[in-house]
Structure 1
Amino acid sequence: MDSSMEEMIKLLGLGMDDALIVWIWAMGGIGKTTLASAIYAHISCQFKGCSLIENVREVSKNGGLKTLNEQLISEILMGKDLKVGNIGSALSTVRNRVCRKKVHIVLDEVDESTELEKLIGELDWFGFGSRIIITTRNPHTLIRHGITHIYEVEQLGEDEAIELFKSKAFRKHPQMGGYGELVHCSVKYAKEVPLALNVLGSLLCGRNKDEL
């Protein structure tokens, strides 16, 4: 996580004045959301308005784009449950009330069906130094939007995967002591995917060999 954050922060170019969108791409469970959320917590204090919207794909599917518009505007303007009449008025609000703000926005789990232009409008609507991070698992989304700045989250190496699994399965007692074969089989089974390692390690935590 530390090395990924360092690379992402360099890519974000926080000292530059131009507004910028950076995409984080990886398959599901690799850690896109975790990375984007960690960066948001780390740098959001440098901006005048911030918004983090998780699982954009599902929220848009269930509540419609208008729900996303209202959350984005409410969080950036620090208003309580601001309402918009329609997509057009939402975009007018973004353009007219956010244009001078240096903002930080994270849109998590965007897919090719997400109409970004109806959610955030144009990049030049935002103030100098604004940074937008968008995560996706779908490479077709990247192609559709013609991105120029992308960070690909790599899978864990075997040693990192083992350490993550041990931290969940053995908690404060990370010594494998007789469980070495089980650990290696579990890591292989999870294909070194962080989410799978977290779930499997937590499931096995506190169990003895007979139960396994």
Structure 2
Amino acid sequence: MSCQELLKKYSQQWQVATLHPFLNECKLGIIKPEQFNTWLVQDYLFVVEFTRMVGRILTYAPTSHFDLILSGLNALQNELNWFKDKATERQLDLNTKKQPTCKEYCNFMNKLTEMPYPIQATALWEIELAYNQGWQLPGKMSPPYNEFANRWGNPEFTNYVKLLEAQANEVLEDVSKTVQNQAETTFLNVARLEKDFWQMAYNATN
């Protein structure tokens, strides 16, 4: 089993997860500010829990995977501070409750470390790929949304995602049928949660 096989087998679910109207409306500049702000605040809360997840993954990862995972953690430190700057610019309160979709996604990530490491590696790759492709696929965006597209769609981040894919492939290569089934289930769960997370922006409360 490989990451590309998952993408091919579940191409329809992946397309829905990464080609969402929210992203197209950002490209066109017609997303409502309150909708984008809702996404921004909830995404900050998500990234806080994602950072915790990546830190826990180190407990299970082979030492040969440490350098890449640690580089991701360093980038997340910068990203959390960047979110705070964006919130300040937009006069947003980051001390707010998670919406149900965000809470579900965070609970999902918290439980991932109960799974075998190949599942964790697959989820880490897929979550980062969803951001990478989600912000790339609509095409060039105009200000102010080009800053967000550049953060997750830039070549350096794309290369990081490819390296995560290689590490996931390495540990997925000879897994049991049980772990293979778990990997497929996890892939589908992430795809669904990504779709729902974009959609959550339309529950504008910020």
TM-score bucket of the superposed structures, by smaller chain: under 0.3
Higher helix share: 2
* Higher relative contact order structure (alpha carbons within 8 Å, sequence separation ≥ 6): 2
Length-normalised TM-score, structure 1: 0.27
Length-normalised TM-score, structure 2: 0.28
Largest Rg, 1 or 2:
1
